Structure 1
Amino acid sequence: MRAASRVAAVPFAVALTCSPAPAQLAEDGHPEDEREEITVTGVRQPYRGTFALREIPQAIATIDDRVIEENTILRLTDALDLNASVNRQNTLGGLWDSFSVRGFAGDENLPSGYLVNGFTAGRGFGGQRDVAGIERIEVLKGPSAAVLGRGETGGSINLVTKQAQLGRSFGTAALQYRSFGTVRAEGDANLALTGNLTARLIGYAEEGDTFRDMVHQTRWGLLPSFGLGLGKATRLTYDFEWTHVAVPFDRGIVVLNNNFRTVPRSRFLGEPGDGDTVTRAIGHQLRLQHDFNDRWSLLVGASHRDTRLNSFSSDAETARARQKLYVDGHSLSRQRRSRRYTSEHSVLRAEVSGEFEAAGLRHRLLVGGDFDYFDTDQLFTRYRGPVVTAATTDRAGYVLDLDDPVYGRFPPPVTTPMFDRLDVQRTAGAYVQDQISVTGRLQLRVGGRYDDILLRVDDRLLKTLGRRRNGRFSPQAGVVYALSTPVSLYATYGEGFRANIGADAAGAVFAPETSRSIEAGAKLTALGGRLTGTLSVYQLDKSNVLATDTLNPGFAVAIGKARSRGVELDLNGRLPGGVDLLLSYAYTDAEARSRVLDPNFSFEIKPGDPLINIPDHNLNVQAAKHLTFGTRGALLGGGIQYVGRRNGETGMAFTLPAYTLVRVFGQFDLTPRLQLFGAITNLFDEHWYANSYVPVWVQPGAPRTGTIGLRARF
């Protein structure tokens, strides 16, 4: 009753946009370049220009809200599983989003960055992103240096939020129950207020247990937005984000001597008395679009986001000499930790896009600039037990018996600060991109971006102030050739320049990461645009790559160079007979290319060592059939996800096993406005492991999980 009453009281948010504007990307991938027939409700997406999918020399995959809804997905991490180029990484005990694209993950000690409506937004400590309010997820793969510049080499994730549709009133409300006693309510209401003012109310609340013992979670979010049409050619939109997550810190299970059944996957190895880790995010976006005419447009925007994370946790000791588990096989030595992390992130940007003709050639031009300010303030404290000897007591090791866990057996040890520092990154950049139609079939893209990066690390414990400033020009070039009406070929080359936040354990500020990328492929648009696909091959090379320093929590170590290369196939669309198809496959070969000895001699990284949590083979495929029973509609679908073996510890031979998960889902219209929906994930209850940091920090995946709910439309 307590969970249900809280969920029923969910507050709803407001979202608002303006009159229709030309689309930046044909959402259905239609091959015809008919700009006057491609429209969206809301503002333009930045960094794009007016291009159909087949004209872009880059692999792009889209996961829309329909697919997310059909699969009853709640988190961004789960939605990204639908694209094989994206792999799960370490999530700080499930408290932030962390993923790799094409084998590269960025800094393992910070959340993975992503874009929201073109603004960088995922780098702070706001907890795992909920899918509420997301219209579609764009996986922008490969080199994008000409405009994005500072993104991860493997690609960028852009979340396009739901925007109000002018002059219409409609909405949905849903209530669902999920295995382990989780209840969730959410709502989405589009309100037509005046001729130039619209609102969309979106909110969610969720509460319940999980398959992990002692792990209860509470989540809610408000996503209000305000928009105003300032005449026919100008639109102003303001978005607000307020989210809250409370859940115990959970490092997962331990794997002793490569036995993944050392403990049940449900067993919690922390301390319930540590309480919840609480994360919060408050964000703002302000976007102005002005169309000078049907060829030229201006985008100006600003965003600001504050995040906060507070926690206590009891984590398995990672150093072998301090771990009693390796002595008797059941006594788990633990550390006691606390975290107080905050961040502020501000972005300003402006872009002019348009087209013109010169020397008989059509040019589509983007010119813009942005300013990015990000700071993260981290206070981390820790208690660590002594090296295990015959005289070491269980209390000194803060031990938990794996066979018969007694929580609260010892009073929590007193922690001392391990690091207390402020990291600041300030980046200013400018970019230009020109796509030239050489003939009716051949297009060339040239562009470049210059970034000036300032890094400052204020280490309050060492009483040092580190500083580094670097600038670099990153070029990009691409070619697209329309082989036939349904098939186009492309190739592209790009360079990247990305700041590495922070310093190593000795206080040295890291040099920025640089990269070179090459990609080629073919794009398919068939069945009148209802079926799209991309086949691509690529190679990415990076320098100044970071990996986690296993003996210094919260710190990283530079491992030099890394390389990723692979082959990808994405298909998405509706086949004849009312069958929706989604297929994504990736072969990824990601490895270190330098020999590096950790400064604390904890491990050695050698050329050819695989990067952590990256499978060679990754496959996701699903199909859904639309059915009709009299006047009532229905849908029945299923999917399979296969993830291959992965390295589970940097520089070591520990490996996570491959797994195959099966899911089924369905919907049935009880009335024209009321729908029953449900899903079962991990249908055959396979034991699987989402990611790993070391063998004593392994995240088990959820067992068979069922969901059932009702959705009303009005």
Structure 2
Amino acid sequence: MLSLSAPPVFIPVSWADNVDRRSYAVSAGSLGVALTRFATQSGVSLSVSPALVNGRSSAGLSGSYSVEEGFAQLLQGSGLRLQSTGADAYTVVPVTEDASTLEIAPTTISSGHVADDGVPYAGGQVARRNSQGLLGSRDFMDTPFSMTTYTSQTVKNLQARTLNDLVASDPSVRATNPAGGRFEQFTIRGLSLFNSDVSYNGLYGVLPTYSIDMEMADRVDILKGPSQLINGISPRGSVGGGINVVPKRAGDKPLTEFTGSYASDSQVGGAVDIARRFGEGDQFGMRFNAVKQSGDTTWDHQSVNREMAVLGLDFRGERLRLSTDLGHTQRDTDAPQERVLIGADAKVPDAKDVHRNYAQAWTKARTEDTFGTVNGEYDLSDSLMAYAAFGARESNHDFLRHNVPVSNDAGDFSVLPRDFTRDESVRTAMAGLRNWFTTGPVSHELNLSASYFYMDFTNGGARYAASPSNLYNPVAIPTPGTPTRPDAEVYTQNRFTGVALADTLGFFDDRVLLTLGARWQRVEVDDWRNGAKGLTGYDEEKLSPSGGVVFKLSEQLSLYASYMEGLSQGKIAPSTSRNSDDIFAPFISRQIEVGAKYDLGTFGLTASAFRIQQPAYETNAVTRVFGPNGKRENKGIELSVFGEPLEGVRLLGGVMFIDSELTGTVGGIADGNRAPATPEYNVSLGAEWDVPALQGLTLTTRGIHSSSQFLDQANSKKIDGWERFDLGARYAFKVSDKDVTVRASVENVLDDRYWVSAGASDDSEPGLSLSTPRTYLVSATVGF
């Protein structure tokens, strides 16, 4: 077996007979198309500079080949050769030796590990390929929608502890909950995304409900727009987009890393990352990640203790590929921040005057999640693959909390303590077939998939006597004693089933890719209160069509258009409403999107225009009853940049403009108004510079901006726009042949106080989220 860490060696193309071979059929035509099709069929990642293959052709191939032999056949006479960049990852470079030989070169990735996120794009911050559920893994230039894939390198360099820390780099995504709160929640394209709607290797409901640790992530895919065709209905019905976390896998080279970390005020932690392959041909792999971090945050009497351990195992055979992931997380937060609710007679408070934590010192959030998945793929033939996955999670959550309902301009509010428990149980599964074939000059990738999701949860708790406090001058209140009344015990069952069929047709040597598909979905929800069957359950189903087309004008430029729609679970009334926990009927969302993608090889640009329609919900300011009120239409434009436009200079970010309009509201009162909690534009832009005078030193900066947002459908109150600036540096060097990387950054350098969000734009929990004060982050990673 060849070691990728060895010096380059040259292997004759007609190498050993014991190399695994499969039958392939790739038609003659464009070299870039032929290479991409072969990489897809063989299940490897390929990164190709468009400038190298533009204008070149390939004679194609038909027969039994190993991966390397197949690429060599396709590249014959092109003046190019294959070069390995890691585990199942390759690139193409000009021939510098005899064209009849294949060079297996060492990987240049730091620490010798190449993750299973495919070949990183230039600069290493995003990946070319991403997971698209039903449609499999595809290059971003071949997809008819907007999608960004952040690599584990980006997670490390941002020192991202949770998903909240990572998504700030994306202008289409914003956090809607305080960073020091009980749970994380986001918006994509102005529409809510709950943590429970974040998938794990394509499976919903498996990851922890309230916060997701980033040390477990090898890649994070962010898809913009409804994704029901790709992944099916999500547990909470998010439609603005989807997030998928891909677990880590062992690469071909052993990995042992330890990272020590510090975050202000006094959070100290350590993390380990260990990977090994073993067995004949390194068929078996093991990857273990664990972290423990605890201490005080920058907020008064707030502390966070988090623990995570995830074990990933995999097997890669000639036709069979298996993997399993087992994880456990625990998070204990004292004095978690809550959203600030603004009463009808109160103005929007000035965030600059809020200097202390308004949550009581005795409030707490205790969450514990145990989860696991099993994934498998089997090549039934050279053109037909079967796949299946199963996931499960058991969770226990315990909160002692209070809302912050400001009732007047002085900032007064009543502390109404609530003891809240939630126990969850999830079972989910999917299975499918993927078939590659041709009919005349047209290629096909046919996908058939069935999915099942089950979750039950029980909510319970009690209420305690109210006490006065103030947003600007919080009053310390004794720990609550005897409850004044118990809450009803609410038991809910969710069952989602679906079947999807899609075909991607390739015309003109795959220069035109047309995807047509539909997903049948059934949503069943039942609930019980104190053992009595509720009245808000339902059982509904719908067939949702979707489609998209990609037109490759050249190897560098792709144009696309798509239509996506899907059925989503109905909203659930919040605890702040009079009809708390009521469940509403499912609703349909629709999106039309057009866009362009430009790949310069080292620098990429994407642009998209979209329109999403769905029902609007609100809690009536007078009756405090939550329910539907009209429709909302989000129309927007996104521009994004990524890559390394100049050697040693990397950019990542973009801008999103959005026009969110309400129609059909009760009495037409809010028609034409802007939907709540939706800024007109967001900007996120990060830059890195490798200092030429000192090898290994990189300076970083990031700027984030969101414009003003309204709090209500009447547009009577709003928060101002805000900016946040981050600065950082990292230095990579060696100590006794050990790789060491030291990272330091300051988030919110100017220590500005502002309202980050006016709440979730289309769901149950309105309210203001306060920015996090200036925070210092320091970490050191040592590779053994």
TM-score (norm 1): 0.85
Structure 2 CA distance for partners of 1:254 and 1:539, relative to 1, 3 Å: closer
> Higher mean Cα deviation, 565-574 or 42-51?
42-51
Matched position secondary structure for 1:286: strand
Q: Residue by residue, what CA displacement relative to the aligned partner does 1:193-231 show, whole Å, maximum 9, x if unpaired?
A: 3232221120111111112111111111011122234x3
Contact 1:253–1:269 under 8 Å retained in 2 = no
CA distance in 2, matches of 1:376, 1:24: 38
Q: Residue by residue, what CA displacement relative to the aligned partner does 1:659-681 show, whole Å, maximum 9, x if unpaired?
A: 11111121112425122211111
Alignment partner of 1:427 is 2:496: yes
Contact 2:417–2:480 under 8 Å retained in 1 = no
Shift, 1:615, TM fit: 1.2
1:202 pairs, out of 289, 293, 310, with 289
Alignment partner of 1:159 is 2:209: no
Which residue number corresponds to residue 219 of structure 1? Answer: 306
Q: What is the 5 A alignment of 1:557-706?
A: 557-596=627-666, 606-627=670-691, 632-649=695-712, 651=714, 653-671=716-734, 673-693=739-759, 698-706=768-776
Alignment partner of 1:349 is 2:430: yes
CA distance in 1, matches of 2:641, 2:756: 25
Shift, 1:245, TM fit: 0.6
Which residue number corresponds to residue 63 of structure 2? Answer: none
Contact 1:584–1:621 under 8 Å retained in 2 = yes
CA distance in 1, matches of 2:313, 2:556: 40
CA distance in 1, matches of 2:48, 2:710: 36
Q: Residue by residue, what CA displacement relative to the aligned partner does 1:460-514 show, whole Å, maximum 9, x if unpaired?
A: 2875354311111110121111112211111111211111254792886421110
Matched position secondary structure for 1:686: coil
CA distance in 2, matches of 1:403, 1:656: 17
Contact 1:178–1:708 under 8 Å retained in 2 = yes
Which residue number corresponds to residue 390 of structure 1? Answer: none
* 2:383 counterpart letter in structure 1: R
> Higher mean Cα deviation, 42-51 or 293-302?
42-51
Alignment partner of 1:414 is 2:483: yes
* Structure 2: gaps spanning 5 or more residues: 1-20, 22-38, 61-66, 72-83, 90-114, 118-129
Q: What is the 5 A alignment of 1:110-129?
A: 111-121=195-205, 125=209, 127-129=210-212
Shift, 1:147, TM fit: 3.0
Structure 2 CA distance for partners of 1:139 and 1:664, relative to 1, 3 Å: same
2:261 pairs, out of 170, 176, 186, with 176
* 2:635 counterpart letter in structure 1: R
Which residue number corresponds to residue 539 of structure 2? Answer: 469
Matched position secondary structure for 2:691: strand
CA distance in 1, matches of 2:623, 2:487: 9
Structure 2 CA distance for partners of 1:99 and 1:403, relative to 1, 3 Å: closer
Which residue number corresponds to residue 297 of structure 1? Answer: 385
1:193 pairs, out of 278, 290, 295, with 278
CA distance in 2, matches of 1:355, 1:189: 36
Structure 2 CA distance for partners of 1:680 and 1:27, relative to 1, 3 Å: farther
2:609 pairs, out of 537, 558, 578, with 537
Which residue number corresponds to residue 239 of structure 1? Answer: 325
* Structure 1: gaps spanning 5 or more residues: 1-18, 385-396, 598-603
Which residue number corresponds to residue 54 of structure 1? Answer: 141
Q: Which has the higher contact order (CA 8 A, sep 6+)?
A: 1
Which residue number corresponds to residue 584 of structure 2? Answer: 510
Shift, 1:365, TM fit: 1.2
Shift, 1:705, TM fit: 1.6
Contact 1:648–1:692 under 8 Å retained in 2 = yes
Which residue number corresponds to residue 5 of structure 1? Answer: none
Contact 1:90–1:692 under 8 Å retained in 2 = no
1:496 pairs, out of 566, 583, 590, with 566
Q: Residue by residue, what CA displacement relative to the aligned partner does 1:355-410 show, whole Å, maximum 9, x if unpaired?
A: 101133111111111111122221243346xxxxxxxxxxxx50125565441358
Contact 1:235–1:288 under 8 Å retained in 2 = yes
* 1:414 counterpart letter in structure 2: P
Structure 2 CA distance for partners of 1:648 and 1:55, relative to 1, 3 Å: same
- The two structures, once aligned, show a CA RMSD in angstroms of 3.2
CA distance in 1, matches of 2:580, 2:328: 37
Contact 2:704–2:725 under 8 Å retained in 1 = yes
* 1:539 counterpart letter in structure 2: R
* 2:594 counterpart letter in structure 1: A
Contact 1:365–1:434 under 8 Å retained in 2 = yes
CA distance in 2, matches of 1:29, 1:595: 51
Q: Residue by residue, what CA displacement relative to the aligned partner does 1:36-61 show, whole Å, maximum 9, x if unpaired?
A: 76945769954233532212111111
2:166 pairs, out of 70, 73, 79, with 79
2:376 pairs, out of 288, 293, 302, with 288
Contact 2:444–2:506 under 8 Å retained in 1 = yes
Contact 1:93–1:252 under 8 Å retained in 2 = no
Structure 2 CA distance for partners of 1:366 and 1:609, relative to 1, 3 Å: same
Which residue number corresponds to residue 522 of structure 1? Answer: 596
Shift, 1:305, TM fit: 1.2
> Higher mean Cα deviation, 459-468 or 19-28?
19-28
Structure 2 CA distance for partners of 1:552 and 1:271, relative to 1, 3 Å: farther
Which residue number corresponds to residue 360 of structure 2? Answer: 271
* 1:362 counterpart letter in structure 2: S
Matched position secondary structure for 1:120: coil
Which residue number corresponds to residue 446 of structure 2? Answer: 365
CA distance in 2, matches of 1:24, 1:85: 30
Which residue number corresponds to residue 4 of structure 1? Answer: none
Which residue number corresponds to residue 230 of structure 2? Answer: 147
CA distance in 1, matches of 2:636, 2:704: 19
CA distance in 2, matches of 1:502, 1:254: 18
CA distance in 2, matches of 1:222, 1:578: 35
Which residue number corresponds to residue 389 of structure 1? Answer: none
Structure 2 CA distance for partners of 1:566 and 1:501, relative to 1, 3 Å: closer
Matched position secondary structure for 1:78: helix
CA distance in 1, matches of 2:664, 2:461: 30
Shift, 1:608, TM fit: 3.1
Matched position secondary structure for 2:605: strand
Identity in percent: 20
CA distance in 2, matches of 1:589, 1:122: 34
Alignment partner of 1:487 is 2:577: no
Contact 1:668–1:675 under 8 Å retained in 2 = yes
> Higher mean Cα deviation, 504-513 or 155-164?
504-513
Matched position secondary structure for 1:400: strand
Structure 2 CA distance for partners of 1:463 and 1:489, relative to 1, 3 Å: closer
* 2:221 counterpart letter in structure 1: E
Shift, 1:241, TM fit: 1.4
CA distance in 2, matches of 1:592, 1:451: 28
CA distance in 2, matches of 1:280, 1:362: 48
Contact 1:30–1:53 under 8 Å retained in 2 = no
Matched position secondary structure for 1:146: helix
Structure 2 CA distance for partners of 1:646 and 1:23, relative to 1, 3 Å: farther
CA distance in 1, matches of 2:469, 2:299: 17
Structure 2 CA distance for partners of 1:21 and 1:538, relative to 1, 3 Å: closer
Contact 2:454–2:493 under 8 Å retained in 1 = yes
> Higher mean Cα deviation, 635-644 or 500-509?
500-509
Q: How many residues align?
A: 658
Q: Residue by residue, what CA displacement relative to the aligned partner does 1:5-49 show, whole Å, maximum 9, x if unpaired?
A: xxxxxxxxxxxxxx9996879686866799976945769954233
Structure 2 CA distance for partners of 1:625 and 1:93, relative to 1, 3 Å: closer
Which residue number corresponds to residue 3 of structure 2? Answer: none
Contact 2:184–2:211 under 8 Å retained in 1 = yes
Q: Residue by residue, what CA displacement relative to the aligned partner does 1:212-264 show, whole Å, maximum 9, x if unpaired?
A: 111111111011122234x3211221111100111133226687633414743
> Higher mean Cα deviation, 608-617 or 568-577?
608-617
CA distance in 1, matches of 2:472, 2:596: 55
CA distance in 2, matches of 1:357, 1:411: 70
